[in-house]
């Protein structure tokens, strides 16, 4: 035990230095202060709105609601973590850990705990907020909330860390036994679902059923997770036979798991899996940075395909992208296409029930604007083009390069626009011209979003960070849409809807073209203006 404790100063050194340097670096960026203002304002708003929601509750009711909330929180946090530990996943080791930490004379179990501590920070913050919230929103006695904080941050973390060490660090159980453990955990989750289904069948839907589910004694008897929930019930709602038994079982389990984890031999056989996960994580991180959908461990498979290049210079960028998309399993279509299809069908169903009437074109346009404004949508391949030196070496104008690097995105927008519009247009028989104009509006909206993004990339580089750029993008996009809507309103009221839509398209196209010109700076040289 003493030897294991000797490892902690070095791991503490790592945390301390990394945290200090990160904070120092962040404080040098003005955008950090902007984010801080946002976060504080958000916290104040949340605090105020929650207090209003819970203000009317009396003592007993609020204790019950808090227990139910913490039970839901438990469902989200614990089972997913345990299952990922069984798969020897979930702990994030970076390439630098593999380089410096794994070969060092630091105990493999300490290294596991080092990675674990990195993952519990968010949990600790959430628990702190819940503790403060428990006192201020739910009027719980301070001692109860402090006891909760102690148990959730110390006891529960000992339990989770012990489980993590036993699952990740074990060198005796083979893949079959670990698979069985995973199955057991899935079975535990299955029991929770089953109890819910039984209650639903017996009592029907409603808030009462949710409450009786979350406070059900059966839930509190489910091993480990249920026993933790029993402890929450004992603390906040007072003793019952079930929650006292569950709490006792919980503490005994924590003690047994802790002793087992301390005594278990571990020489670092998990390093190999950790390296694999670190590689996958790094790859996903890099892809995520480029704005792609990145799932850890997910490898993209490509089909065989070919294209005939019908053009030279910058046009080659388009044909190369076309070839890449042809090699994709679903060509240019992805998850977002599915979202558009579902929305299109949903709108058609509402229209079929007669709930849209003459407002249908406006409803479609509203949904389109919302989708464009809020959803990230596709990341597209233009971002990747900017990371490749040959893009800049192609002997063509920057504007051409921008156009051909983003052309495929307009084709995707056309496909999505059709999916959103056509079902409702067919159901309600919207005139052909109006349908075409609505689809064209969607293409303009998407183009506006795209070029606002490329323009900000050219102007700001990494100054605002991805979240800051997202806000800036929304600002410019909103500005263009606002001008467009003003034009559309004038056109519609003075002449007709078709003219209004045409005005919207023209104004948006013109403003987007201005953004395009600025955005083309990105394709001039391999660095942003900023």
Site residues for other proteins per CB under 8 A: 3, 6, 9-10, 13-14, 17-19, 21-22, 25, 94-96, 98-107, 267-269, 271-272, 275
Complete DSSP assignment for 128-187: HHHHHHHHHTS---HHHHHHHHHIIIIIHHHHHHHHHHHHHH-SSS-HHHHHHHHHHHHH
- In the complex, least distance from residue 96 CB atom to other proteins, rounded to whole angstroms: 4
Q: Which is nearer to other proteins, 267 or 489 (CB)?
A: 267
CB nearer to other proteins: pick between 41 and 121: 121
How far is 118 from 95, CA to CA, in rounded Å? 15
| Shorter beta-carbon distance to other proteins: residue 290 or 327 | 290
CB of 91 to other proteins, least distance (A): 16
Residue 133 Cβ vs other proteins, minimum distance, rounded to whole Å: 32
Q: Which two tokens stand for residue 433?
A: 């011209």
CA 521 – CA 454 distance, rounded (Å): 9
HEC string of 238-280 equals CCCHHHHHHHHHHHHHHHHHHHHHHHCCCCCCCHHHHHHHHHH
Q: Is 304 left (phi over 0), alpha (psi -120 to 50) or beta?
A: beta
Smaller CB separation from other proteins, 178 or 269: 269
Closest approach of Cβ 38 to other proteins, in Å?
23
For residues 79 and 268, which CB has a smaller minimum distance to other proteins in the complex?
A: 268
Of the pair 11, 63, the CB lying nearest other proteins is at 11
**Closer to other proteins at the Cβ: 101 or 444?**
101
Q: What are the structure tokens assigned to 485, written together? A: 């809507």
- The CB-of-6 to other proteins minimum distance in angstroms stands at 8
Closest approach, Cβ 277 to other proteins, in A, equals 13
Contact 218, 246 (CB under 8 A): no
CB 364 within 8 A of CB 438: yes
CB of 107 to other proteins, least distance (A): 7
Q: Which is nearer to other proteins, 106 or 314 (CB)?
A: 106
| Residue 85 near residue 163 (C-beta atoms within 8 A) | yes
DSSP E strands, 279-338: none
| Contacting residues for 381 by C-beta, under 8 A, at least 6 apart | 321, 324, 405, 408
Which residues have CB under 8 Å from 490's CB, separation 6+? 500, 503
SS3 204: coil
Nearest distance from C-beta of residue 99 to other proteins, angstroms:
4
Give whichever of 19 and 39 is closer to other proteins, judged by the CB atom.
19
Q: Is the CB of 21 or the CB of 355 nearer to other proteins? A: 21
- Rounded to whole angstroms, how far apart are CA atoms 460 and 454? 10
- Give which of 365, 387, 393, 376 is closest to 481, Cα–Cα: 365
Q: How far is the CB of 103 from other proteins (least distance, A)?
A: 5
Closest distance of CB 140 from other proteins, Å: 38
CB count in 10 Å sphere of residue 117: 15
């Amino acid at each position: 035990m003493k030897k294991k404790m000797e490892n902690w100063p070095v791991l503490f050194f790592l945390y301390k230095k990394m945290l200090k340097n990160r904070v120092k670096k962040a404080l040098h960026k003005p955008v950090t202060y902007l984010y801080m203002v946002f976060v504080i304002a958000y916290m104040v708003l949340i605090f105020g709105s929650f207090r209003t929601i819970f203000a009317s509750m009396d003592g007993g009711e609020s204790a019950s609601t808090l227990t139910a909330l913490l039970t839901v929180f438990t469902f989200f946090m614990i089972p997913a973590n345990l299952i990922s530990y069984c798969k020897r996943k979930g702990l994030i080791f970076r390439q630098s850990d593999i380089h410096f930490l794994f070969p060092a004379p630091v105990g493999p179990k300490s290294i596991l705990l080092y990675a674990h501590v990195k993952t519990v920070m968010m949990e600790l913050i959430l628990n702190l907020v819940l503790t403060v919230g428990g006192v201020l929103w739910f009027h719980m006695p301070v001692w109860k909330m402090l006891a909760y904080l102690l148990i959730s941050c110390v006891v529960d973390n000992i339990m989770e860390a012990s489980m993590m060490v036993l699952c990740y660090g074990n060198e005796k159980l083979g893949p079959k036994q670990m698979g069985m453990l995973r199955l057991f955990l899935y079975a535990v989750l299955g029991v929770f679902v089953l109890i819910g289904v039984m209650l639903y069948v017996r009592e029907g839907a409603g808030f009462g059923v949710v409450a009786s589910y979350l406070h059900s004694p059966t839930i509190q008897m489910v091993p480990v997770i249920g026993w933790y929930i029993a402890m929450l019930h004992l603390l906040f709602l007072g003793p019952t036979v079930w929650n006292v038994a569950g709490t006792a079982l919980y503490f005994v389990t924590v003690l047994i798991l802790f002793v087992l984890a301390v005594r278990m031999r571990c020489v670092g056989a998990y390093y190999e899996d950790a390296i694999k996960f670190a590689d996958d994580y790094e790859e996903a991180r890099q892809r995520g940075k480029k704005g792609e959908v990145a799932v850890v461990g997910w490898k993209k498979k490509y089909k065989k395909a070919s294209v005939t290049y019908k053009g030279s210079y910058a046009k080659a960028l388009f044909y190369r992208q076309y070839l890449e998309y042809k090699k994709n399993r679903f060509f240019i279509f992805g998850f977002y296409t599915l979202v558009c299809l579902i929305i299109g069908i949903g709108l058609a169903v509402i229209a079929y029930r007669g709930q849209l009437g003459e407002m249908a074109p406006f409803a479609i346009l509203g949904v389109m604007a919302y989708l464009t404004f809020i959803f990230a949508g596709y990341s597209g391949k233009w971002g990747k083009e900017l990371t490749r030196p040959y893009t800049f070496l192609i002997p063509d104008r920057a504007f051409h390069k921008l156009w051909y690097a983003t052309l495929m995105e307009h084709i995707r927008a056309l496909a999505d626009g059709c999916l959103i519009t056509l079902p409702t247009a067919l159901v309600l028989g919207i005139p052909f011209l109006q349908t075409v104009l609505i689809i064209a509006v969607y293409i303009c909206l998407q183009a506006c979003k795209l070029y606002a993004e490329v323009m900000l990339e050219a102007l700001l580089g990494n100054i605002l960070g991805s979240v800051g750029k997202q806000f800036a993008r929304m600002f410019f996009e909103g500005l263009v849409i606002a001008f467009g809507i003003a034009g559309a309103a004038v056109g519609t009221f003075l002449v007709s809807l078709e003219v209004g839509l045409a005005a919207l398209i023209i104004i948006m196209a013109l403003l987007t073209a201005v953004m395009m010109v600025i955005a083309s700076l990105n394709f001039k040289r391999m660095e942003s203006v900023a």
